[in-house]
Homo-oligomer: A and B are copies of this chain.
Amino acid sequence: MDLVFPTPQEAEAAFYEAFQSANLEAMMAVWDNDADITCIHPNGKRLQGRTMILESWQHIFASGVEMRFEISDAQYIQTALTSIHTVHEYIYMNGDRRRRDPVIATNIYRLTNQGWRMILHHASLTPDTSNAVEINTPSSSTILH
């Protein structure tokens, strides 16, 4: 699949379209080819390079969960060659219409000879809490800062 995205916004739209249609080929067409591309799924480990990243999407798409994305509150920091986006991902699964807390994603795109390509996706959860920041005691199992 040989797609060229003239703007980082078009690459981002293609990313979420591939995500919700579980289209592995379209998903990997959004990602750059370099070894330094990085993907961190919510609560996941850091994945680097096309092989690890492709395998993670295969795993996600194989689950058969039907996902619809509503992307909102996009903020952009754009330079000539790099575009840094943070967005709120509202995800509706298997026809559920309730709006849950969003996943927060940092998406970074790079201008390549083949247009804009994704080089980083870092997504994290926001629990249903009004506290933006919480620190647990050392006895608890998770560390929040």
Interface residues of A in 100-121 (CB under 8 A from B): 100, 103-104, 106, 108, 110, 119-120
In the complex, which range does the number of interface residues on chain A fall in? Answer: 35 or more
> Which residues of chain B have C-beta atoms less than 8 A from A88's C-beta?
46
Show 9 A/B contacts (Cβ-Cβ < 8 Å), sorted by A: A40-B86, A44-B126, A47-B132, A93-B137, A96-B138, A104-B122, A106-B106, A106-B120, A122-B124
Interfacial chain B residues near A126, Cβ < 8 Å: 43-45
Q: A40-B124, A79-B79, A128-B141 are in contact. List 9 more A-B contacts (CB 8 A).
A: A40-B104, A43-B125, A44-B144, A45-B126, A46-B104, A77-B108, A77-B119, A82-B82, A122-B122
A63 to B86, CA, bound (A): 28
What copy number does this chain have within its complex?
2
How far, in Å, is A43 (CB) from chain B's closest CB?
Answer: 5
* Identity of the chain B residue whose Cβ is nearest the Cβ of A100 in the assembled complex: B143
Contact pick for A133, options B60, B81, B137, CB 8 Å: B60
* Proximity string of chain A (53-64) to chain B, C-beta cutoff 8 Å, 1 when within and 0 when not: 000100110010
Query: Given A56-B133, A135-B63, do A84 and B144 touch, yes or no (CB 8 Å)?
Result: no
